Amino acid sequence: MPAHLLRRMTAAMLLALTLCGTGQSLRAQAPITVFAAASLKSALDEIAQGFSATRGPIQLSYGGSSTLARQIQYGAPAQIFLSANTDWMDALERDGLIVADTRVDLLTNSLVLIAGPDVGPVPPISPGFNLAGALGTERLAMALVDAVPAGLYGRAALQSLGIWETVRDRVAQADNVRAALMLVAMGEAPLGIVYTTDAAADPRVRVVGTFPPDSHPPIVYPIALIKGPNQPEAQALLNYLRSPEASAVFERHGFGLAPAIK
């Protein structure tokens, strides 16, 4: 065979192998899609950056756990779900949407009352405390009180303290806890109820009280794989989220570790 034809065939074969390898690489780099409660954003963004640097891309979608769970129920292509309460994970498990034996409680949190930068003194949190008086003519920022975990926890705490009826008509409800945080940070509401970790994420707000742990159900974040494609990669990320490296990041952002992770 003439040398010039041999060179052309060799070049063609090398190009074909290169394209084949590129296709495999692109397929391997398909992002792992994670649906996570909005309160996890600061910590999970940092963790995802560390994982992606060596193990492949992650696509993070944040929102209220209720909204995310419903999207999964309607077929949204999530591969991992990290909820801010057990109820919405229970709903997906009942629907047969999570991978058996991958569910575990990952994190804990606490609930706080926050104030904006120009708000004066607020009474300490105690049974019957005058939250309505502290609001004046303004409104209390909370996540959706009938659906989003932070709102459900907050309503339960106010009911336990005997003051829900005094403020229920003065609640500015937001789609998720980070949106409630933003209302206070921007001065749209003087006070709000968020997680400790959210308060730490914005220097424009200050914590004026922590709700007693027994005033609301335990704040627990379960995690699980969602049935579907790309399971080995998603399992690798789930394992990483349970690792000491990830746990250290979560703790630095104010989360507690669930007993199964300690």
Binding site per annotation, positions? 39, 65, 150, 177, 195
237 phi, psi to nearest 5 deg: -70, -40
Cα→Cα distances 22→12, 34, 167, 204, 222, Å: 15, 25, 59, 47, 37
- Known binding residues for molybdate are 39, 65, 150, 177, 195
Instruction: Name the residue type at position 129.
Output: F
The SS3 of residue 100 is coil
69 phi, psi to nearest 5 deg: -60, -40
User: Could you please report the per-residue DSSP string of 191-238?
Assistant: EEEEEHHHHHT-TT-EEEEE--GGGS---EEEEEEBSSS-HHHHHHHH
Long-range contacts, stretch 162-171, CB < 8 angstroms, 24+ apart: 162/127, 162/128, 163/128, 163/129, 163/131, 163/132, 166/131, 166/132, 167/131, 167/132, 167/135, 167/140, 170/132, 170/135, 170/138, 170/139, 170/140, 171/139, 171/140, 171/141, 171/142, 171/145
- Count how many residues are written for the chain: 262
